[in-house]
Amino acid sequence: MPGPQITLLVTLTGRDRPGVTSRLFTVLSAHELTVLDVEQVVIRGRLVLGVLLSAPGSPDLTAIHQQVTTLAEDMGMEAEITMGSGDQPQRLRGTLHVTVLGRPLLPSAVASIAGRIAANGANIEKITRLAHRPVTCIEFQVSGADPVQLRTALARDSAELGVDVAVQRGGLHRRAMRLVVMDVDSTLLQDEIIDLLAERAGCADEVAALTAATMRGEIDFAEALSQRVRLLSGLDVQAIDDVLKHLRLAPGARTLIRTLKRLGYRCGVVSGGFTQFTSWLATELGLDFAEANTLEIADGKLTGRLAGPVVDRAGKEQALRRFAAEAGVPLSQTVAVGDGANDLDMIAAAGLGIAYNAKPAVRSAADTSLSVPHLDAILYLLGISRDDVEAADAEDPVLAEAGGNWA
């Protein structure tokens, strides 16, 4: 019977320069070796290149060591070769992605998270930076951890550390996400539209109190919405146009939608608010789907009633399912983003549920949460880096003509 295969780990470190990878593999190609794994990282101009190889039989280890060492010395680098034996290693690579966002991100937070990963019996295989502004985002590639246990442990730590932490399965699961559906009020928009209408109707305090109680899940949404809309009875329809002029998109909203669309994602909104505003958002941002309630209007004034069925908590989940069916996307490949109790069902139904600047009940129910005031941070949870976004923007002739990247 043939003996066990020998494995070699060849590591080069030193100042990065063109041709390092090519020259190393040229040296290795002179021997009977098989490549099992390759990783290369450059930090501030310093290269770390690791190659894991298997060698059947009895390779000339002395020659390999001498040739790799000579190559490293010629390039002003350091070489290390370690040897093992046994079958091809059974490694769980990229099993989980642990994404960490902070503003600022302190060394103490990174130390705590790395310690928690180790305490869960997991191994950090790789750390990369996805963004450095307006938030710092780094991602750990982790193997050997139970995702539920690690997510629960890190969720407890995140608030104390002042960072957001997301734990997701890696590989094809995350890359398969194809539909993103978002809440509107206090998510895609900074505002609560019904509160803005109430200001113009002179009932701001009453409506704000009902809105806050509804978001906390203390009042049935449909009943609270009916009460709030009744308070708007008699408001001139011109108030809708006035509110539209003053709406504020969440920081990063345009960047998020623009980038997702470039990558072939379908994007939609579902709102307990009103079609008079979601229709504008769909046109303004190029959304594929939009659903909301409709304010009834007669003789140029709001009647205080809704036209059609109410889009409530259950209605939002139904909309997510319908959008997914129309897009030909399974629910496992959907992302739902929201901030209030009204979003809980669609967050639970989606493949990835994100609580965005959300109430505690929503944060605890979601797969992950974001507390940074930048909606495009969602991109980092999908493995899309800030450098990738900015490079794509720089190549966009429309953005260039407009004078650069708009939020």
> Known catalytic residues?
183, 185
Instruction: Report how far apart, in Å, the C-alpha atoms of 100 and of each of 119, 139, 149, 187, 256 are.
Output: 17, 6, 17, 20, 18
Angle between helices 204-215 and 193-201 (to 10 degrees): 160
Please provide the DSSP assignment of 120-152 as one string.
TT-EEEEEEEEE-SSSEEEEEEEES--HHHHHH
| 384, two tokens | 């899309």
Parallel, antiparallel or unpaired: strands 295-298 and 301-306: antiparallel
**Residues 152, 194: Cα–Cα separation, whole Å:** 35
Largest pairwise CA distance in the chain? 92
Which residues touch 344 (CB under 8 Å, ≥6 apart)?
313, 338, 361, 362, 365
Q: Cis peptide before 373, with omega less than 30 degrees from 0?
A: no
CA 167 to chain centre: 10
Element holding 375 (H helix, E strand): none
Element holding 70 (H helix, E strand): helix 61-74
Q: Cis peptide before 134, with omega less than 30 degrees from 0?
A: yes
Which residues touch 295 (CB under 8 Å, ≥6 apart)?
229, 232, 240, 274, 275, 276, 302, 306, 307
Element holding 352 (H helix, E strand): strand 352-356
DSSP state of 381: H
